[in-house]
């Protein structure tokens, strides 16, 4: 990984952590959208998601996932464009896009024949436009939401527990 890729990855990771923290905060505050019964002992949507991930998915799993991704997208929309682009470049489609566009840039490298070392051909702005090297990233918010869910929120939910979640998973629902 080149230094610029490391920098982009670090920017993306910081932004993803920020988004994941905000998403979890929203899910923990949401006590009204719970789909488990009042007798479940679970107090918020975050508790329910953690149970779903660590236990068995319910018939409502897609609803939980849709809710989380909707919140992720809302939080991502608060980021700077460069942070959003950096996150998207970490996704599978973003990596493919980057690879495809690097190939176009590499096409501008030529060997002059007099030396073993290639040099970068100096090109004008007009030639740059003709070569269609993009000036910005056209990111996909679905890719970003999936990436943050899969790599940040899901992992945090898998590792998170509290007394309510543990009692629910242990089947000890009589003590609620």
Q: Compute the mean pLDDT over every residue in the chain, rounded to the nearest whole number.
A: 83
So what's the pLDDT on residue 164? 93
Decide: pTM greater than 0.75. yes
Which residue matches tokens 């990771």? 13
Reading the block at residue 26, the tokens are: 């929203």
Closest CA to 106 of 133, 139, 126: 133
Cβ neighbors of 161 (< 8 A, separation 6 or more) are 50, 54
Domain positions in the chain are 3-91+140-170, 93-138
Closest CA to 47 of 63, 62, 58, 34: 34
Write out pLDDT tens, residues 128-143: 445 554 566 788 999 9
How many angstroms from the chain centroid is the CA of residue 88? Answer: 7
């Amino acid at each position: 990984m080149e230094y610029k890729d490391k920098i982009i990855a670090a920017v993306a990771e910081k932004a993803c952590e920020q988004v994941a923290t905000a998403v979890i905060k929203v899910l923990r505050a949401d006590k009204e959208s719970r789909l488990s019964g009042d007798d479940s002992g679970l107090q918020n949507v975050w508790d329910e998601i953690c149970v779903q991930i660590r236990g068995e998915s319910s018939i409502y799993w897609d609803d939980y996932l849709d809710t989380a991704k909707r919140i992720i997208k809302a939080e991502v929309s608060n980021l700077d464009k460069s942070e959003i682009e950096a996150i998207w470049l970490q996704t599978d489609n973003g990596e493919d896009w980057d690879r495809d566009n690097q190939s176009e840039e590499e096409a501008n490298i030529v060997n002059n024949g007099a030396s073993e070392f290639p040099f970068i051909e100096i090109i004008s702005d007009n030639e740059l436009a003709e070569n269609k090297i993009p000036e910005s990233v056209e990111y996909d918010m679905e890719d970003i939401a999936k990436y943050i869910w899969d790599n940040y929120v899901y992992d945090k939910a898998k590792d998170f527990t509290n007394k309510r979640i543990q009692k629910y998973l242990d089947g000890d629902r009589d003590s609620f």
